[in-house]
Amino acid sequence: MSVITELRVHDVRFPTSRMLDGSDAMNPDPDYSAAYVELRTDAADGLSGHGFAFTIGRGNEVMTTAIATLADHVVGLDAEDFLADLGRAWRLLVHDSQLRWLGPEKGVMHMAAGAVLNALWDLRAKRAGLPLWRLLAELTPEEIVDVVDFRYLTDALTRDEALDILRAAEPGRAARIAELEATGYPAYTTTPGWLGYSDAKLVALAQQAAADGFTQIKLKVGADLDDDRRRFALARQAVGDSVEIAIDANQRWDVAEAIAWVTAMEDESIAWVEEPTSPDDILAHAAIARGIAPIPVATGEHVHNRVMFKQMLQAGSMEVLQLDATRVGGVNENIAILLLAANFGVRVCPHAGGVGLCEAVQHLSMFDFVAVSGTRERRSIEFVDHLHEHFIEPIDVRDGHYRVPRLPGAGTEMHAASLARYAYPDGAEWSTGADSGAAPDAGAAPDAGAAADTDPAADTGRSEAVHA
């Protein structure tokens, strides 16, 4: 037997705003960040579990505080027992009667629970000597549904219905594992499409994407209609007709504006319209979907839990479901979401990018192909070529496909040197470089006091803290 002895949190931030990587209509200057958690045990194997919640800079210290609050729930537990029953881990972390007031099951506190759950799954996979997708693909249908919380789902998906889906997929598992290992899982790329990029950069990157074998790219839209029309036309010219082009509005519009804008784009070749409005607005997404048909609506990166996804499926709000590895309650809740999508026959094309999201989410799509939906048809995982070098096993995308990860674990472990260098605010990257992450963005800047005094991160006086 071994015991979970420590929960260690790291505030890790990358100064991506200096390059305008990741800029879009709602996020002009993100600093890709991770509220990173590491679980250690006293086992002789020396293995530790790593997980994180992705953020875009300011407020990452709120996430690390929330994760630290969960230390009580895991430190001191028997690791074997706990890892063998990650449905119980979900209940402990998500159903704490006092903490759920801060959500329930949404926002900071829920993402914190997700980070800890993902770290537990990472540790379990490492102990099993398997990459997470493979560990999940080898669980029995009963073991899979045991980690899912069906509360609030039963009007759309019961435990028995989920078992039926999983059992139906069992016969082909081995063949699909072999297919995945041979050809990988399709990817699409957002790299050409950031709003902050010049037309020339957009065209060059779009041509490169087509040459690299991607069959879909995506453009950010929603700031200016004329720009969007021009950029879409340039991209179409650059990639030709055999590559699909999706657009992403990052929540810019109300219902009428979304329908009018997409209609004014005058191009039924649009692969999908992503996040046309508030991620909370199930009914507005459904109205927009009706208004822009046959162009599909895609959403999910900000959809905060399985109850919201369930309703979007019930209401016809989306044709493409974009789950995110760190927005919801970890692997457990993402399995619930994959099962819901399968039950409604909706395509899953995960959100990725940021830092570490590609590394984490590929495991979920591969598991879905092997053990849930059984298909890769018209499905792909977002790919953005940023910050992969900070991970122990960076994604391997070739010929427009994610190749299967091979190392044991969930893909979520960063190099210790990266954790140290990008630690906020004390790591070398921040203590010596331009401090673009400490102040609000220029458009919203108050006439500010002294930054050093009001810097929220200065309150905790640390970028790493141990809870043991």
The three-class DSSP label of residue 378 is coil
Min dist. Cβ of residue 375 to its own copies (A): 27
d(CA 104, CA 118): 19
Which of the ranges 69-77, 117-125, 167-175, 236-244 carries the binding residues for its own copies, by CB under 8 A?
69-77
Min dist. Cβ of residue 314 to its own copies (A): 6
Decide if 220 is catalytic. Answer: yes
Hey, CA dihedral for 418, 423, 428, 432, is it positive or negative?
Answer: positive
Q: Nearer Cβ to its own copies, position 77 or 420?
A: 77
Binding-site member from 42, 72, 85, 164 for its own copies (CB under 8 A): 72
Taking the alpha carbons at both ends of the chain, their separation in whole angstroms is 18
Instruction: Strands of 288-328 (E only): list them.
Output: 297-299, 320-321
Decide if 10 is catalytic. Answer: no
Of 55, 61, 62, residue with least CA distance to 30: 55
Of 330, 331, 364, 357, residue with least CA distance to 414: 357
Do residues 380 and 216 touch, judged by C-beta distance below 8 A? yes
Which of the ranges 141-149, 192-200, 235-243, 274-282 carries the binding residues for its own copies, by CB under 8 A?
274-282
Which of the ranges 36-44, 51-59, 184-192, 261-269 carries the binding residues for its own copies, by CB under 8 A?
51-59
Do residues 150 and 139 touch, judged by C-beta distance below 8 A? no
User: The sheet that has 48-55: what strands, in order across it?
Assistant: 48-55, 33-41, 4-13, 464-467
Q: Nearer Cβ to its own copies, position 97 or 198?
A: 97
Q: Nearer Cβ to its own copies, position 262 or 404?
A: 262
Min dist. Cβ of residue 74 to its own copies (A): 7
**Interaction between residue 375 and its own copies (CB under 8 A):** no
Question: What does each C-alpha distance from 155 to 93, 122, 159, 161 come to in angstroms?
Answer: 24, 32, 11, 11
Min dist. Cβ of residue 449 to its own copies (A): 4
d(CA 366, CA 372): 10
Number of residues counted as binding its own copies (CB under 8 A)? 91
Do residues 326 and 355 touch, judged by C-beta distance below 8 A? no
d(CA 307, CA 302): 13
Binding-site member from 274, 281, 333, 368 for its own copies (CB under 8 A): 281
**Interaction between residue 378 and its own copies (CB under 8 A):** no
The residue whose two tokens read 């036309």 is 233
Do residues 404 and 179 touch, judged by C-beta distance below 8 A? no
**Interaction between residue 153 and its own copies (CB under 8 A):** yes
Q: Nearer Cβ to its own copies, position 13 or 363?
A: 13
**Interaction between residue 444 and its own copies (CB under 8 A):** yes
**Interaction between residue 78 and its own copies (CB under 8 A):** yes
**Interaction between residue 21 and its own copies (CB under 8 A):** no
Q: Nearer Cβ to its own copies, position 40 or 134?
A: 40
Q: Nearer Cβ to its own copies, position 266 or 453?
A: 453
Task: For Cα atoms 339, 343, 349, give the angle at the middle one, nearest 5 degrees.
Answer: 65
Q: Nearer Cβ to its own copies, position 162 or 217?
A: 162
Token duo for residue 151? 């509360």
* Range 237-266, binding its own copies (CB under 8 A): 251, 254-256
H/E element, 13:
strand 4-13
Q: Nearer Cβ to its own copies, position 240 or 456?
A: 456
Binding-site member from 37, 66, 135, 358 for its own copies (CB under 8 A): 66
Min dist. Cβ of residue 346 to its own copies (A): 16
Min dist. Cβ of residue 232 to its own copies (A): 24
Min dist. Cβ of residue 115 to its own copies (A): 13
Min dist. Cβ of residue 78 to its own copies (A): 7
* Range 170-229, binding its own copies (CB under 8 A): none
Min dist. Cβ of residue 382 to its own copies (A): 16
Binding-site member from 20, 43, 234, 439 for its own copies (CB under 8 A): 439
d(CA 46, CA 39): 11
The three-class DSSP label of residue 232 is helix
**Interaction between residue 433 and its own copies (CB under 8 A):** no
* Range 90-119, binding its own copies (CB under 8 A): 91-92, 95-111
* Range 289-328, binding its own copies (CB under 8 A): 302, 304-305, 307-308, 310-311, 314-315
The three-class DSSP label of residue 351 is coil
Question: What does each C-alpha distance from 404 to 124, 209, 330, 360, 364 come to in angstroms?
Answer: 18, 20, 20, 12, 11
User: Which residue is catalytic, options 106, 110, 126, 220?
Assistant: 220
User: Which residue is catalytic, options 126, 351, 386, 390?
Assistant: 351
Q: Nearer Cβ to its own copies, position 143 or 150?
A: 150
Instruction: Strands of 134-283 (E only): list them.
Output: 185-189, 216-220, 244-248, 270-274
Tell me which residues are annotated as active site: 220, 351
